[in-house]
Amino acid sequence: MRYEYELDFEVRDYECDLQGIVNNAVYLHYLEHSRHKYLLSKGIDFAKMHEEGKDLVVVRVEADYKSPLKSGDRFVIRLNVSKEGRLRMVFHQDIYRLPDEKLVLKAKTLGVCLLNGRPIVAEEVERALFS
């Protein structure tokens, strides 16, 4: 699969549980951070949008855990984004351990833009991501 964005990370000690592996909830933080960095790289300004009453929110996350990460492991998150219907954007995110490129996690995150709590098509997001 060809990806349009990637971001490197390293596992920090405090992200691991008693088993010595990254806690499952931490992966959601990794995914969120990579989505935010991707959107920022596309010129999407969260603070400005919020001032206008618009917020990008996650409505669903599906994650398939394939292999664990441990403290000190380096990894990369790669992503693509697509449309689902008129309002939803879908982030396809895969995590690979480095340097061996072992698949760690496959995720699908659905998001929408809300204006004062109601779903809308945000023109600035459409232009940045899909044109």
Summarize pLDDT for 61-107 with one digit per residue, the tens.
Answer: 999 999 999 999 999 999 999 999 999 999 999 999 999 999 999 99
Decide if pLDDT at 120 tops 80: yes
CA angle 90, 104, 109 (to 5 degrees): 15
Residue 113 pLDDT: 97
Residue 1 pLDDT: 75
A 10 A CB-CB count for 104 gives 21
Residue 47 pLDDT: 87
Half-sphere CA count of 121, side-chain side, radius 13 A: 10
Question: Residues with catalytic annotation?
Answer: 17
Task: Name the β-bridge partners of 112.
Answer: 57
The pTM for the full model equals 0.93
Backbone angles phi, psi at 105, to 5 degrees: -155, 140
Decide if pLDDT at 46 tops 90: no
At the topology level, CATH places domain 5-130 in Thiol Ester Dehydrase; Chain A (3.10.129)
